[in-house]
Structure 1
Amino acid sequence: MLALLPILRLAGLVWTDAVRASDPDLPFADYLDDERLVRLEWGFDDAPGNITFRFTVNATGWIGFGLSPRGDMTGADLVMGGVGPDGTAYFKDYYSTENSFPAEDREQSYTLLSLAESRGQTLVTFSRPLQTCDGQDLAITAGPMRVIYAYGTTDEIGFHANLVGAKDLNLLNFVPRIAEANGKYISATMENVTVPPKGTYYHCRVMRFPTLTAKHHVVQIVPEIEHADMVHHVLLYSCPSHVSTAYDGECYRGHPGDACFGIVAAWAVGGQIFEVPPNTGIPVGGGVAAAFYRLEIHYSNPNGEMGRTDSSGLRLHYTHQLRPHDVGIMCAGVSPSFPIDYDIPPRATKFRTYGVCNTTLFSQIVDPVPDLRVFAVMLHTHTAGREVRVRHFRNGERIGFLGVNADYDFNLQEVTKLGRVKTIEPGDDIVVECSYSTSDRTAPTQMGLATTDEMCLAFLFFYPKIEVVTCISQPDMTSLNQRFPLGGSLSNQKEIEEYERALRNLPQIEIAFANETRFQIYPHGHVRDATETPPFRCNHTTNAAGERASWIWNRASVLFLLAWTVLF
């Protein structure tokens, strides 16, 4: 089979680095072998939903895909299938309790969606629940899993030592290793900014991009971080048309560029190279984007070091070959810049804040409002943040999440692709919930811009782009502070929980605005009730050991054993 590799390459049947997942419902993809003959694509629902795989092999014989605790046949959960000589598809769910012959699973937990041969490849698409409650299957969890595969050049299941392998993949938290693209890029960086000796400093550079007379699409964002110990986050905004002068200095000091809020790119601590899906691009140039852009960097200098300079920023790789959809990025959550008259109490083991976005406000800015297809999210708090959830409501009922991080790490704030593209319809509600722990703090924590303050934000990446760039809220505190004065006077967790509930029940002042300073305010918003999803529990499990004697040993099973076990 390896001798065929040069021929397959000439025939265009071996994937290259440029190939990405093209199905929005299967946003993740990886090669399982070094020769790039075996490819896996997948997508998944919110737990406890389903996961869907597309498994493609450059061969037209039988193919096998499985999950294994150790990478061998012991405890493996397998499917095997192909297209027979008469064109009939075959596909079944198997298991193995030892490093021995696999058995046909009594409960066929995998659902075949399609199976075909085309241009020398076998392609099979199938789905299964993340948790099947079948003792002969492996639960798919948020940790790394060992994926195993094998295949043959004919439909007779047989041994071929070179056509078998294994790879570790974190299916539910997959972060691809992306190489920087070749070709043209725009460099948006600072130029030797002197970082002052204070804990928090925001520097802004308003600049004109190179002239692109026609519209182009940014397809990859590469961080250029010179001093990772100081750079807290990087945001690049497009400017409204009235911004016509450059600026290089401290942010929010009265320059017209302070009004630039059309998010083009975002990076925070721990972020890596980010690529948009292949059917999308972030528009720049031409008549669709402003001539000026504002680069904002939040520097954190807690030790007050003097004389340090920085030239961090972003590289935006772009193409003139336009893609079907323009990408928009919208900031949702708790208002980060307007005054908020409440603090997060000290000594709180858990304290939650809420930001609300009712998308009915969009129709007062954009007409018509299309369905928005959300494909990625970046969640953001500061160092007290422990958990972030972006709840999605329709007609008053929660229908899922647009983002969840139940183990938030300030040092790992990546743009995360969703398991499936989620659709926001006009009228839907978005609630960003952040949980904090201040058990090690003796003073209240403010909501604000400083590193020692807190934030609660979610940056939603979606298409098609609309002009709404921000949809945030803050509680109306006019009737609360008499009961709960600021300053950390709450003495125990019970009082803290009562304070949190009181804040949650206050009216929310919602604000949605576009980059051209158009905005809408709704002062009567509220945080919708969200019944917590109970932990998934199986009502029963199948006794795998009791099934071991139910299958028939045959020649195909012996050959299948050889195919999977000799190298594992």
Structure 2
Amino acid sequence: MRICNKNLRLQDVTIMYFTALAALMVILVASYQAPAPPRLPMPFRVPLDPHGDLQLAWNISYADQEVYMELRVADLQHGVVLGMSDRGELTNADLVVLWDSGANSYFGDAWSDNEGHVSLDSQQDYELLEAKHKSDGFHLLFKRPFSTCDPRDYLIEEGTVHIIYGFLDKPLASLDQLNLSRIHTGVQRVLMLRPDTPSPALPPDVQTLDVVAPNVVIPNQETTYWCFIQALPENMPKNHIVMYESVITPGNEAIVHHMEVFECSPDVRDVPEYSGSCDDKMKPGKLNFCRHVLAAWAMGAEAFYYPPDAGMPMGGPGSSRFLRLEVHYHNPLLISGRRDSSGIRLHHSPSLRRYDAGIMELGLVYTPIMAIPPKQHTFYLSGYCTSKCTQTALPPGGIHVFASQLHTHLAGRGVRTVLVRGGKELEVIQEDQHFSTHYQTIRVLKKMANILPGDVLITKCTYNTEDRSTPTVGGFGIMEEMCVNYIHYYPRTKLELCKSHVEPEYLQKYFSFINRFHGNDRCVCGEVGVTEQYSQLQWDAFAGEVLDSLYNTAPFSMHCNQSSARLFPGEWDMQPVPLVTSILEKPSYPC
């Protein structure tokens, strides 16, 4: 395909506009005949389609507030579409399109309406830098600002970006002929904005341990979670994990979706060997005691480095010898017979760093006491880590948070953890308003956050239950919900869980009130479980609004738990909702 211009044609244009466009075509042709621009490093990359025929690489300029993108198409036919939308929808998407009319080829900034129909954007914000055929396919290099102030454009910000793509298999006389619902498309998720800090050097005595799947035959089904138990060497002394990275079997880059390594509970002495589906009802029950996250990777993630002063403990007294690898295979093409030995490579050192790193759970307790009404476009739940808990459990100098892993289930749409000090929001620890449960990776903070004794941490999750006719309660099931932020920090403390839930006594008052409001004099409050009480309610807008008010005002129970799962000494029930008198303004982006 030969690139000739940025096609800026619009409907009902004048002859003068065509004349200007022709002049622009000449300028663009001349620019492509000029020497290629200096080669930019592209440190981030991800395969977009299951075959791996379409790959996106990118770099970030925080100084210029721009993203440089390079799209490689292995076998270009008549064009390609790349775009961004709120949750990967083909409708109301911000697009860049490369297409041909049968005679000439064009590149332009476009958008799709609520039916997937594509139109050229009147404001062209994608700047084409280079287009050429290379030995491995067709390469397209372009850039775009984070913010364009065009209402039809996507704001590139911290958190998950849903990338949509499509292939054009026939020429288009005009871009107006394109409807995304009629071409082959797909979606991929990435963290586009990454910290630009250099990676710390590894110690000279660093060793590696590969926790990998044992030559697994990937099932020919769309989704598989594969579990594998691996034992550490006998009597392994305490080491610090200082870095980890993915190890992907060549050819499987587009199928291995994400992976996690969990340490089993030290209270479980022996965990049996296992390699099989994580969902197999016949799997050993002891696998359920392997929940302490050591490493997490998702497609597109880079190697994860610990700060120079800290490392994650592995081995030694008080730890488990057993690790559980969990690999998510995404195989929408139902490929059969593909073998895989992917996993995570742990880089560890016997030379211990100054601090042990730790992981702390923030958010909501896993309980059906917290629920989301059905048919909700937007519903919020908040979990609290109170000043009383941090005052009790943190050292005088506090802790330093350097990364976090957000978590909800299918109804989750956003997660935000904010640090509150003296009643004022001080900084956002982590936020993702385009969150997807299908893309969960450990995210390095752009700047470490210092949490001091007496600080408050509020984790607020956003949910959508428009497609559900019954309430969604908290719990472990995928159709139940969670609201969690696993923060990675140092120095490690005994505080492992700092979460909350509304007081059950006040929830029972809510059930009684709503039932009486709807004319149901006989309340089953206390006679059946909370899940059943939620399901028996008559759900309408009023019931949802009152529940939202209850969650935001009623006293709550605080779980300020030690690593032994015991509460820290103190009274933790009937805690008041933290008072926040000043909130942070949303970041503004220059146009």
TM-score after normalising by structure 2: 0.53
Contact 2:373 2:465 in 1 (8 A): yes
**Does 1:345 pair with 2:369?**
no
In the other structure, the counterpart of 2:498 is 471
- The 1:310/1:507 distance shift into structure 2, 3 A limit, reads farther
In the other structure, the counterpart of 1:239 is 265
Contact 2:233 2:321 in 1 (8 A): no
**Does 1:333 pair with 2:363?**
yes
In the other structure, the counterpart of 1:460 is 487
- Residue identity in the other structure for 2:406: L
Paired with 1:70 and 1:416, the residues of 2 have a C-alpha distance of: 19
**Does 1:528 pair with 2:578?**
yes
- The 1:327/1:223 distance shift into structure 2, 3 A limit, reads same
Paired with 2:158 and 2:392, the residues of 1 have a C-alpha distance of: 44
Paired with 1:143 and 1:206, the residues of 2 have a C-alpha distance of: 35
Contact 1:282 1:326 in 2 (8 A): yes
In the other structure, the counterpart of 2:16 is none
- Residue identity in the other structure for 1:236: F
Contact 2:259 2:343 in 1 (8 A): no
Paired with 2:63 and 2:330, the residues of 1 have a C-alpha distance of: 49
- The 1:245/1:238 distance shift into structure 2, 3 A limit, reads closer
1:35-55 CA distances to partner (integer Å, 9 max, x unpaired)? 99xxxxxxxxxxxxxxxxxxx
Contact 2:232 2:323 in 1 (8 A): no
Paired with 1:380 and 1:333, the residues of 2 have a C-alpha distance of: 10
- Residue identity in the other structure for 1:243: V
Contact 1:362 1:369 in 2 (8 A): no
Residue number among 356, 362, 381 corresponding to 2:384 in the alignment: 356
Q: Secondary structure at the match of 2:376?
A: coil
Contact 2:315 2:321 in 1 (8 A): no
Residue number among 238, 251, 261 corresponding to 1:215 in the alignment: 238
Contact 2:391 2:454 in 1 (8 A): no
- Residue identity in the other structure for 1:327: A
Paired with 1:68 and 1:266, the residues of 2 have a C-alpha distance of: 29
- The 1:537/1:512 distance shift into structure 2, 3 A limit, reads closer
Residue number among 48, 64, 68 corresponding to 1:67 in the alignment: 64
- Cα deviation for residue 498 of structure 1 reads 2.8
Residue number among 316, 322, 333 corresponding to 1:293 in the alignment: 322
Deviates more, 1:460-469 or 1:339-348: 339-348
- Residue identity in the other structure for 2:270: T
Paired with 1:201 and 1:519, the residues of 2 have a C-alpha distance of: 37
In the other structure, the counterpart of 1:414 is 441
- Cα deviation for residue 192 of structure 1 reads 7.3
**Does 1:506 pair with 2:546?**
no
- Cα deviation for residue 294 of structure 1 reads 4.2
Q: Within 5 Å, which residues of 2 pair with 1:5-20?
A: none
Deviates more, 1:427-436 or 1:464-473: 464-473
% identity of equivalent residues:
24
Higher RCO (CA-CA < 8 Å; seq separation 6+): 1
Residue number among 424, 436, 448 corresponding to 2:463 in the alignment: 436
Q: Secondary structure at the match of 2:512?
A: coil
Residue number among 139, 142, 145 corresponding to 2:157 in the alignment: 142
Q: Secondary structure at the match of 1:470?
A: strand
In the other structure, the counterpart of 2:26 is none
- The 1:312/1:434 distance shift into structure 2, 3 A limit, reads farther
Residue number among 513, 517, 534 corresponding to 1:486 in the alignment: 534
Paired with 1:322 and 1:296, the residues of 2 have a C-alpha distance of: 25
Q: Secondary structure at the match of 2:554?
A: coil
Q: Secondary structure at the match of 1:67?
A: coil
Paired with 1:376 and 1:465, the residues of 2 have a C-alpha distance of: 14
1:171-196 CA distances to partner (integer Å, 9 max, x unpaired)? 96447899999963223345578999
- The 1:310/1:493 distance shift into structure 2, 3 A limit, reads farther
- Residue identity in the other structure for 2:574: H
Paired with 1:364 and 1:254, the residues of 2 have a C-alpha distance of: 38
Q: Secondary structure at the match of 1:361?
A: helix
- Cα deviation for residue 317 of structure 1 reads 1.3
- The 1:431/1:176 distance shift into structure 2, 3 A limit, reads same
Paired with 2:158 and 2:497, the residues of 1 have a C-alpha distance of: 33
Paired with 2:535 and 2:217, the residues of 1 have a C-alpha distance of: 34
In the other structure, the counterpart of 2:526 is none
Deviates more, 1:514-523 or 1:388-397: 514-523
Report how many aligned residue pairs link the two structures: 384
Stretches of structure 1 that go unaligned for 5 or more consecutive residues are 1-32, 37-64, 72-129, 132-139, 145-169, 542-568
Residue number among 269, 289, 305 corresponding to 1:275 in the alignment: 305
**Does 1:315 pair with 2:345?**
yes
- Cα deviation for residue 420 of structure 1 reads 1.6
**CA RMSD after TM alignment:** 5.0
Paired with 1:515 and 1:195, the residues of 2 have a C-alpha distance of: 36
Paired with 1:490 and 1:230, the residues of 2 have a C-alpha distance of: 43
Q: Secondary structure at the match of 2:445?
A: strand
1:455-507 CA distances to partner (integer Å, 9 max, x unpaired)? 21101111112232222222223332333551285654454233212123232
In the other structure, the counterpart of 2:106 is none
1:502-531 CA distances to partner (integer Å, 9 max, x unpaired)? 123232222233334443372233442445
- Residue identity in the other structure for 1:290: S
- Cα deviation for residue 201 of structure 1 reads 9.4
- Cα deviation for residue 422 of structure 1 reads 0.8
- The 1:342/1:358 distance shift into structure 2, 3 A limit, reads closer
Paired with 2:561 and 2:224, the residues of 1 have a C-alpha distance of: 25
Contact 2:397 2:452 in 1 (8 A): yes
- Cα deviation for residue 372 of structure 1 reads 0.2
- Cα deviation for residue 448 of structure 1 reads 2.0
In the other structure, the counterpart of 1:184 is 207
Contact 1:262 1:515 in 2 (8 A): no
Contact 2:327 2:343 in 1 (8 A): no
In the other structure, the counterpart of 1:92 is none
Paired with 2:387 and 2:222, the residues of 1 have a C-alpha distance of: 36
Deviates more, 1:508-517 or 1:177-186: 177-186
- Cα deviation for residue 409 of structure 1 reads 3.2
Q: Secondary structure at the match of 2:535?
A: coil
